């Protein structure tokens, strides 16, 4: 068994990575209780299937700072 890991490298003073559902990805709104990663060197274990992430800083997701990843 192996795990798929997503690595996010960014400046943590101006970005973050928030795990969201499909609705959060589409609307650029993180639901209550969403996992917020803010180290700037995040290693996130993906679950099998679709995984969605956004930057929740104002305007960033709306400008395209979001990603959908399918893990096999």
pLDDT digits (tens, 9 = 90+) for 16-44: 999 999 999 999 999 999 999 999 999 99
In this predicted structure, what is the pLDDT of residue 1?
59
Cα four-point dihedral sign 9, 13, 14, 18: positive
* Annotated domain spans of the chain: 5-71
For tokens 């997701």, the residue is 61
Q: Class of the 5-71 domain?
A: mainly beta
In this predicted structure, what is the pLDDT of residue 46?
96
Q: Which of 27, 6, 26 is nearest to 17 (CA)?
A: 6
User: Per-residue confidence at 54, pLDDT binned at 50, 70, 90?
Assistant: very high
Max Cα distance, the chain (Å) = 39
Q: Are 8 and 55 in contact (CB under 8 A)?
A: no
Is 23 in a helix, a strand, or coil?
Answer: helix
In this predicted structure, what is the pLDDT of residue 64?
98
pTM exceeding the 0.75 threshold for the entire prediction: yes
Q: Where are the alpha helices (DSSP H) in the chain?
A: 22-27
């Amino acid at each position: 068994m192996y795990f798929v890991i997503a690595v996010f490298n960014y400046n943590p003073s101006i970005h973050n990575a928030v795990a969201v559902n499909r609705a959060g990805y589409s609307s650029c709104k993180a639901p209550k209780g969403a996992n917020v990663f803010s180290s700037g060197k995040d290693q996130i274990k993906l679950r099998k299937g679709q995984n969605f992430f956004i930057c929740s800083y104002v305007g960033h997701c709306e400008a395209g700072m979001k990603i959908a990843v399918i893990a096999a």
